Amino acid sequence: MTDVPDSPPAPRWTLGRILLRVVHWAIIANFVFQVGYAGYMVFAVVKPEHTEGPLFAAALTMPFELMVTRRLYASEFWVAFSGLAIYLALTEIGPRMWRLPQR
C-alpha cells in the first residue's frame, strides 16, 4: 500500500486575508498608476512646443527649467518602475519560484 499524502486544505477566506489581498492589489495599482502618470508627463506634457516623441535636436533649444522638470519626472518613472519590479519579485515571482519542485 502506498502512502499518498492528503492534499492541503483549501485556504479559508477570512477578513484578514481579504484585507491583505486588497492592500496588495492597491499597492500594485498605485505603482502602475505612478509609472503611467510619470510616462505621460515625460512624453506628452513636459515637452517643447511643436515636438512629438523623443527630443533629439530639440533638447538643445529646450529651456533649462523645462529640461529639469522633464528629468525629475523621468526619475520618478524609474523609481516607481523599480519599486514595482522589486515588490512583484518579493511578493509574486519569488514565492512561486520557491514553491516549484526542483528538477
> What single-letter DSSP state applies at residue 6?
P
* pLDDT, mean of residues 10-39: 93
Over 60: is that where the pLDDT of 44 sits?
yes
The confidence band for 68, taking pLDDT boundaries of 50, 70 and 90, is very high
Higher pLDDT: 27 or 7? It is: 27
Three-state secondary structure call for residue 79: helix
pLDDT of 35 over the 90 cut = yes
Q: Above 90 in pLDDT, residue 29?
A: yes
